Structure 1
Amino acid sequence: MNNPRIRTVPRRRSLLLAASALALLAPLTACGGSDTAEGDGKTLRLWHYEQQDGALSKAWDAAITEFKRTHPDVKVVFERKTFEQIQQNAGMILNSDKAPDVMEYNKGNATTGLLAKQGLLTDLTPVVEERGWDKKMSESASVTARYDDKGEMGGDKWYGIPNYGEFVLTYYNDDLFKKHNVAKPTDFKSFEAALAEFKAAGITPLANAGNDHPAGHWLYLLALSRANDTWVDDYQLYMGKVDFHGPEMTFAVNKYEEWLDKGYFDKKDVGLKGNDMTEQFVSQKRPIMVGGNWWFGSLTTDIENFSWSTAPFPGSEKTLGSGGNHWVIPTKAKNKKLAEDFIDITMSDKIQKLIGEQGNVPIAAQADTITNPRAKELITAFDTYQSNNGLAFYPDWPVTGYYDTWLAATQNLMNGGKPDTVLDELAAPYDKYVASRS
């Protein structure tokens, strides 16, 4: 969830990055051979970094197959890169004659926004309107695909097209709820009632990890339970002044402290990582986990001995989430029309349905078209947020390096720090950055 951080790079690391960049700029030799007919409308060069056999990789494989079927005279030159290769060297790559025609790239001001501001990405706005891609996703899901002249998300120009969504939701151990006769929550009041019942039975109800993003996600989610659209826009898009001691964040830190004191969270979780949190849920030590849909696939594989389900976090119309990483077309791409055709296929009903059946969250597919029952449950939850403008991004997005601030602040709270002090910690770098923009 953290933004890339600006830092001085030691010489040894600089040499490694240079070598990595050279490797990326080397002649393309993956499936289909080298591209000898550049810019003639007969070759599509495509890069992505999804892991082989993952849900999205399978979807992109199917999209390539469909593209070849509909473009029988076009050669597809596909290269699977690593996330780090593209992240570290994108500027150099896209400013060269080796730029691919279409590429998966990370969303955000420091990534897509930066390249758009530098003139390295194609403005897709006319294509989006012509092909109706904007009609297939919600306003909140498209924010990270649109940027202004400063390279800040939420602008009026489209530079990327997301195919999937990501969001934070609730995971329940249904067997433990039945065993202890606890009712599944339907709102915030009944959620807290469930926490109290589990604690009374000697069970710490909530999985958590203080040395990773989950603890900060919890704090931001509690703030969102008291927030409206204006607050989210002010915080994420700098549309107005944010008062960190206002009702939203004050409620969050006070409720977090209350749950720590009542034992709904375990203070000893302050040093845990995200995988430790999921292990708490998988091992049935904690009946409730709030986390991203990115855990969904591994839980499906790892959980074999109990029934579980997912649902939107009760009591909040908003959650952490956004459209996923997206396809971009470099300014120097040689076959942009072919790239557009490929993106269009990834937005088709067939590929969107495949993304859903494989356990990810398609951005343009309805849950009732999915046959996998657990995947349908997941997509229904995402659709609930997407249709109600409920995707509120992530707490560390507004400021470069803010992830570390949120990590330290939530650990301070878990270690007994005063709520007002924690709010001051969060406010200082945010206010400094906002002041520097004016």
Structure 2
Amino acid sequence: MLTTRRRLAAAAVILSGSLLMTACGGSDSGSSDGTTLRLWHYEGPTSAMGVAWNEAIKEFEAEHPGVKVKYEEKSFEQIQKTAQMVLNSSDAPDIMEYNKGNATAGLLSQQGLLTDLTAEAAKRGWDKKLSAGVRTTSQYDTDGVMGSGKWYGVPNYAEYTMVYYNKDLFRKYGIAEPKSLGDLTAAMDEFVRHKVTPLANAGAEYMAQQYLYQLALSRADRSWVDKYELYKGKTDFHDQAWTYAATTFADWVKKGYIARTSSGTKAEEAGVSFIQGKAPILFSGSWWYGRFQSEAKFDWGTFLWPDSNLAPGSGGNLWVVPKNSRNKELAYDFIDITMSKKIQNLLGNKGGVPVAADANAITDPRSKELIANFNTLSGRDGLAFYPDWPVAGFYDVLVSETQKLITGSEKPDAYLNALQKAYDKGAKRQ
């Protein structure tokens, strides 16, 4: 359930959007002639998703003579920061990619800004193509909490986090591939001994908080995740899992596994440091996989975080249809094409994690490994979503507080107190 504070915040956003609509002369600027599908997404053109969606656009236009897709490039930050205002105006696209979770798609669904896709999901069979773990982020209840209720988005790929490691650097220093957390810490000790910072990290964005969340997950179970993400019980940031995560993360900074200077580093910089062969280890998502395939010029591999059944991961970002979309049927058709075998197989062979591909059609060896590891994680119910999802605004809190852990300006206990306070402001605890 959501707090009164969050309901009032949501109402304020709706009110501000209503004022915007009035300023724009209202949201109904005339019906579409059905010849253009306005589409927003923020995938890079060389990423697995970008390649697949570009092919889907070609397929769509071939199947809809006289209709053109007007793709408008938007960054993740642009969509994240302006979605509520834009979707409440006459400038809303017909279909867009949007982040999943309570604090994002869930909040927009609660505000009435997204189209209910429940009937289309059943009619077109999307509900049958998605596994239970992936489907969680498609549905939201009346409070905007994921996991049940109406369909407001469709993920046509999945994602999960893993350990990327530079095999050449491991060989250079005579270090074996880690099979356990003990092996991993021993490997990091060895790199530090050789004056090499083991972990690529980005304190200014999502990467650092995902390291910390993974440490917590290694001491957690599914009920812990459900309490935290779905409000199915009380979340205590001073429990064994969170305490272990915060103290271990701070200890890793002291030991030199994580550079203090990484507090201001962005994810792109961390990823590039791995691509350039400077960082031997990077823990991040499958969204990097295709890029590493095309840009890394050394031998590298991946493995799931050792000694943990859980890892950050979920269905991918959602295709959502704004309430003010003028071409909803065309939008549904486009989603359907991205769920087709042709597009799903292409996605899989380009380094993505498809949700409805033909397993025999995936021929790239690295892609096979990527999908196999996802199936292992998903098969043990190990997708644990992401740390910033539970409440609106929590992402920024996690960034700023985790930066303090990296710089040493805040101790683990104070860090956990800050998270508890922010979390409690955004969620009614049962």
Q: Secondary structure at the match of 1:162?
A: coil
Partner amino acid, structure 2, of 1:251: Y
1:377 matched to which residue of 2? 369
Work out which of the residue numbers 234, 240, 247 in structure 2 matches 1:241: 234
1:232 matched to which residue of 2? 225
Give yes or no for contact 1:59–1:351 (8 Å, CA) kept in 2.
Answer: yes
Identify unmatched segments of 5+ residues in structure 1.
1-5, 8-13, 29-34
1-structure distance, mates of 2:254, 2:111: 49
1-structure distance, mates of 2:283, 2:82: 34
1:136 matched to which residue of 2? 129
Residue 87 of structure 1 and its aligned partner are, at CA, apart by 5.0
Work out which of the residue numbers 57, 76, 80 in structure 1 matches 2:72: 80
2-structure distance, mates of 1:415, 1:115: 35
Partner amino acid, structure 2, of 1:307: D
Matched, 1:292 2:285: yes
1:117 matched to which residue of 2? 110
- CA distances 1:116-161 after superposition (whole Å, capped 9, x unpaired): 2233433222322333222322322222221111222222211111
Give yes or no for contact 1:140–1:392 (8 Å, CA) kept in 2.
Answer: no
Work out which of the residue numbers 293, 297, 312 in structure 1 matches 2:304: 312
**Greater alpha carbon shift after TM alignment, 220-229 vs 111-120:** 111-120
1-structure distance, mates of 2:324, 2:20: 21
Give yes or no for contact 1:99–1:332 (8 Å, CA) kept in 2.
Answer: yes
Residue 426 of structure 1 and its aligned partner are, at CA, apart by 1.4
Matched, 1:37 2:30: no
- CA distances 1:316-370 after superposition (whole Å, capped 9, x unpaired): 2222222222222344545544433322221111101111222333233366532
Partner amino acid, structure 2, of 1:376: K
1-structure distance, mates of 2:323, 2:265: 43
Partner amino acid, structure 2, of 1:292: G
Give yes or no for contact 2:108–2:114 (8 Å, CA) kept in 1.
Answer: yes
Matched, 1:102 2:95: yes
Matched, 1:163 2:159: no
Give yes or no for contact 2:197–2:257 (8 Å, CA) kept in 1.
Answer: yes
Q: Secondary structure at the match of 2:383?
A: coil
2-structure distance, mates of 1:36, 1:262: 60
Work out which of the residue numbers 56, 60, 64 in structure 2 matches 1:67: 60
Matched, 1:126 2:119: yes
1-structure distance, mates of 2:423, 2:43: 35
Give yes or no for contact 1:210–1:269 (8 Å, CA) kept in 2.
Answer: yes
- CA distances 1:106-125 after superposition (whole Å, capped 9, x unpaired): 33334432332233433222
CA 1:282–1:330 in structure 2 vs 1: closer, same or farther (change >3 Å)?
Answer: closer
Q: TM-score, normalised by structure 2?
A: 0.83
CA 1:290–1:86 in structure 2 vs 1: closer, same or farther (change >3 Å)?
Answer: closer
CA 1:27–1:218 in structure 2 vs 1: closer, same or farther (change >3 Å)?
Answer: same
1:265 matched to which residue of 2? 258
Residue 235 of structure 1 and its aligned partner are, at CA, apart by 0.7
Residue 232 of structure 1 and its aligned partner are, at CA, apart by 0.8
1-structure distance, mates of 2:78, 2:186: 48
Matched, 1:434 2:430: no
CA 1:368–1:228 in structure 2 vs 1: closer, same or farther (change >3 Å)?
Answer: farther
Work out which of the residue numbers 183, 187, 198 in structure 1 matches 2:180: 187
**Greater alpha carbon shift after TM alignment, 90-99 vs 202-211:** 90-99
1:31 matched to which residue of 2? none
2-structure distance, mates of 1:296, 1:117: 33
Q: TM-score, normalised by structure 1?
A: 0.82
Residue 269 of structure 1 and its aligned partner are, at CA, apart by 3.0
Matched, 1:49 2:41: yes
2:351 matched to which residue of 1? 359
2-structure distance, mates of 1:272, 1:357: 31
Work out which of the residue numbers 399, 402, 413 in structure 1 matches 2:391: 399
**Greater alpha carbon shift after TM alignment, 314-323 vs 335-344:** 335-344
- CA distances 1:351-392 after superposition (whole Å, capped 9, x unpaired): 011112223332333665322333333333333323332222
CA 1:367–1:76 in structure 2 vs 1: closer, same or farther (change >3 Å)?
Answer: same
Partner amino acid, structure 2, of 1:60: W
2-structure distance, mates of 1:89, 1:421: 32
CA 1:253–1:110 in structure 2 vs 1: closer, same or farther (change >3 Å)?
Answer: closer
Matched, 1:390 2:382: yes
Partner amino acid, structure 1, of 2:373: A
2-structure distance, mates of 1:54, 1:147: 32
Residue 260 of structure 1 and its aligned partner are, at CA, apart by 2.8
Give yes or no for contact 1:171–1:308 (8 Å, CA) kept in 2.
Answer: yes
CA 1:198–1:36 in structure 2 vs 1: closer, same or farther (change >3 Å)?
Answer: closer
Q: Secondary structure at the match of 1:286?
A: coil
2-structure distance, mates of 1:209, 1:340: 37
Work out which of the residue numbers 142, 165, 171 in structure 2 matches 1:172: 165
Partner amino acid, structure 1, of 2:260: K
Partner amino acid, structure 1, of 2:70: F
Residue 418 of structure 1 and its aligned partner are, at CA, apart by 2.7
CA 1:281–1:323 in structure 2 vs 1: closer, same or farther (change >3 Å)?
Answer: same
Residue 18 of structure 1 and its aligned partner are, at CA, apart by 7.3
Structure 2 counterparts to residues 271-290 of structure 1, below 5 A: 271-290=264-283
**Once superposed, what is the RMSD of the aligned Cα atoms?**
3.5
2:320 matched to which residue of 1? 328
2-structure distance, mates of 1:58, 1:328: 19
Partner amino acid, structure 2, of 1:311: F
- CA distances 1:264-320 after superposition (whole Å, capped 9, x unpaired): 23334333332332343234333111122333344334422x211122222222222
Residue 219 of structure 1 and its aligned partner are, at CA, apart by 0.6
2-structure distance, mates of 1:279, 1:86: 24
Q: Secondary structure at the match of 1:45?
A: strand
- CA distances 1:153-176 after superposition (whole Å, capped 9, x unpaired): 222211111112233211111012
2:5 matched to which residue of 1? none
Give yes or no for contact 1:311–1:377 (8 Å, CA) kept in 2.
Answer: no
Q: Secondary structure at the match of 2:236?
A: coil
Matched, 1:58 2:51: yes
| Sequence identity percentage | 47
